[in-house]
Chain A
Amino acid sequence: MRGLTVGYVLHRLWMFVFTIWASATLMFFIPRLAPGDPVSAMVTRMSRQSGRVEGGAQLIAAWRERFGLDDPLPVQYLRYLRSLVTFDFGYSLAQFPTEVGTMIGQAMPWTIGLLAVATFLSFLAGTVIGALMGWAGTPRVVRALLPASLTFTAVPFYILGIFLVYVFVFILGLFPISGGYRSDLTPGFSLEFINSVIQHSTLPALSIILASMGFWALGMRGMMITVAGEDYLTLARAKGLRPSRILFRYEVRNAILPQITALVLGLGGIVGGTVLVEYIFGYPGMGALLYQAINNSDFTVIQGIVFILILTTVTAVLVLDLIYPLLDPRITYERR
């Protein structure tokens, strides 16, 4: 427990609150710095889509009143913060009687499931590949094949997604094109339903895994090479330890820790990328809901989803940060 001090935990908690507050505040003020206001922006968009809006001026006035946009800014800001803290995001503008919370609640498990599985698998695969690339004892044949696995590293999730749809859906016809499960099935714990869910999420998950795997592999390779120069490895070899023990207990054990820091820093990007992957695959998660909301200028839904996405990411980061010193006893956060 040496690493996990009270000061460290408090600092992390403070960062957690600060990050959420800062992003919520940015989301509040930056749109208000732009000319115009959300309501007239919405009306403009509506009239662009459907030609003309009946009684646009009254509509704007009514909505301004309803959202309290005529109140002074600090009042609006406090009300906004209160609604975030109480998770009360109000009603959807486009599908009026539905509450934003309900819509998010339906979409959330899909996204969390996809993200958790895909991130875990890509982290695992990437770390193994990177370790093999950086290890001096890797057979030459394997070493020659490894770089091929990094082909997609440079390509963004959503572009890879488009290619996967083309190859596996259009040409090979192996997977369904969009959605989260076959529409004639009722969600539940039946074998058929679970099978359908897996079929529908294979391609979205694959595009996240293939595209982010190389990131972990490159980091791991670099750390393995750095570790390879350390004196304790020479000592371990001089002691005549088994090569497998040297590899796992000395090299991998030390190289893998910074990977967790990389995971903490990369998580935000993965969440952002997933939004687009879901949109490409019509996957019924937060990303697809967000896209729909953008198209309908449904600002309450947009705000709600984005806040939940931020909250989820920052919470995951907090958890990883708290686990890290337990994994790496060398690090003390007493005084940096």
Chain B
Amino acid sequence: MDTSVLDQAGPPETAAPPRSAIPWLNRKLIAGSALIGGVLLLTLLGRLFWNTDLALAASSPLNLPPFWADGGTSAHPLGTENSGRDMLALLIVGGPTTLQIGLVVGVTSMVIGIVFGFAAGYLGGPVDAVIRTLSDTALTIPSLAILIVISSYIREMDVNTMAFVVALFAWAGPTRVIRSQVLSMREQGYVRMARLTALPTSHIMFKEMLPNLLPYLAAAFIGAASGGILAAVGLEALGLGPQRVPTLGMTISNAIQGSAILRGMWWWWALPTGILVLIFIGLFLIAIGLDEVANPRLRRARKGGRR
């Protein structure tokens, strides 16, 4: 899902830039996208080949180890946990759900961030003051704490409700980034030129400035998405997530409650955390890669540092 955004943001097809490589073909960016894409592909393909109903409680025998360990069977290749859920099915259902939350949080907070960020940076004045106060407030509050209060009151939480609740606090980061970039871009030659030629404000904002912000927008999107996943899995791990759909965080929560670590049932906690680690590392690599795309100085420092 995330990769499609990056693909759109790819380089224009016109003459190759003079400097050796196209910045978007950054190694970290590609590795990160491949990781996220791989997780998505495997879990989505898994749905075709594996019965996802096995992710429900009491659908399988209890506490089976993976097939290669003593007592494991090929009927449940990655084992089962203490309420009879099949681990493979849990991963297949939970993986895409987690990415879906990231996508919803990312998109929601980007929409808010672009509107607020442009309004604050371009219009300035009282609009800026209000938006800056709001976003600074949202940034300093420990948002997970408030999310805990909110979700402990909401009785039936589904995946999208949770994503929107999380997005309530995720927009501030993108807003801040976009505002500061718009602020510095506003004074650049081509924007002044556009203003002098009396182009409509919306044209200047979206046709002139927005394309130049793409690396920053992509980075802000990834930041919001990974922050959203972080918060959502945290809520799930505390037992505050959706109860009807099995999620990775819920599996971790059950594993901790069932003291899986001390019982040596490593597959119960290590598989869901493993998938999450892959997702977070993927997003992190994308973020660093985008940073280098957006900031040529870092790119040069990296090359210089290596040789």
Contacts and interface: CB of A to CB of B under 8 A. Distances in A.
Contact of B301 (A27, A134, A154): A134
B139 interface: yes
Contacts of B136: 15, 19
A44 B152 CA distance: 12
Contacts of A158: 234, 237
A309 B139 CA distance: 14
Contact of A170 (B150, B262, B291): B262
Contacts of A280: 256
Interface residues of B, number: 49
Given A154-B283, A265-B140, A23 B146 contact: yes
Nearest to B226: A154
Nearest to B141: A23
A223 B263 CA distance: 46
A9 B145 CA distance: 27
B103 interface: no
B230 interface: yes
Q: For chain B, what secondary structure do more than half of its interface residues adopt (helix, strand, loop), or is it mixed? A: helix
B264 A294 contact: no
B9 interface: no
Contact of A153 (B139, B262, B284, B298): B284
A156 B262 contact: no
B91 to A, nearest CB: 15
B72 interface: no
B210 interface: no
Interface in A217-240: 218, 222, 225-226, 228-229
B140 A302 contact: no
A272 B238 contact: no
A272 B143 CA distance: 7
B281 interface: yes
A117 B9 CA distance: 42
B238 A291 contact: yes
B141 A276 contact: no
A19 B137 contact: yes
A36 B298 CA distance: 52
A269 interface: yes
A275 B297 CA distance: 37
Interface stretch (A53-61, A191-199, A310-318): A310-318
B120 interface: no
Contacts of A44: 155
Given A15-B133, A31-B153, A158-B237, A271 B230 contact: no
Nearest to A268: B142
A276 B146 contact: no
Contact of B142 (A18, A303, A313): A313
A309 B147 CA distance: 13
B276 interface: yes
Interface in A243-274: 264-265, 267-269, 271-273
A158 B146 CA distance: 18
A26 B147 CA distance: 10
A36 B139 contact: no
B224 to A, nearest CB: 13
Interface in A131-189: 134, 143, 153-156, 158-159, 162-163, 165-166, 169-170, 177
B193 interface: no
Contact of B146 (A26, A290, A314): A26
Given A272-B234, A276-B234, A166 B145 contact: no
A310 B261 contact: no
B141 A155 contact: no
A234 to B, nearest CB: 16
Interface in B116-155: 133, 136-137, 139-146, 148-150, 152-155
A265 B139 contact: yes
Contacts of B256: 162, 279-280
A297 interface: yes
B264 A222 contact: no
B126 to A, nearest CB: 14
A306 B149 contact: yes
A287 to B, nearest CB: 9
Contacts of A290: 148
Interface in B253-278: 256, 261-262, 264, 266, 269-270, 273, 276-277
A255 to B, nearest CB: 13
A154 B284 CA distance: 6
Interface string B100-122: 00000000000000000000000
Contacts of A177: 262
Given A294-B238, A294-B240, A169 B142 contact: no
A310 B273 contact: no
Nearest to B273: A159
25 contacts: A19-B136, A31-B153, A31-B154, A34-B155, A159-B277, A162-B273, A165-B261, A169-B262, A177-B262, A225-B297, A225-B298, A267-B142, A268-B142, A269-B142, A273-B234, A276-B237, A279-B238, A294-B238, A295-B239, A299-B153, A302-B152, A306-B146, A313-B140, A313-B142, A314-B140
Interface of A: 15, 18-19, 22-23, 26-27, 30-31, 34-36, 38, 41, 44, 134, 143, 153-156, 158-159, 162-163, 165-166, 169-170, 177, 218, 222, 225-226, 228-229, 264-265, 267-269, 271-273, 275-276, 279-280, 290-291, 294-295, 297, 299, 302-303, 305-306, 309-310, 313-314, 317
Given A36-B155, A299-B152, A306-B145, 13 more contacts: A22-B137, A26-B150, A30-B150, A34-B154, A154-B285, A155-B280, A218-B288, A222-B291, A265-B139, A269-B142, A279-B237, A306-B148, A313-B141
CB-based closest 10 A-B pairs: A272-B144, A154-B284, A31-B153, A271-B142, A268-B142, A306-B145, A154-B280, A225-B301, A154-B281, A272-B142
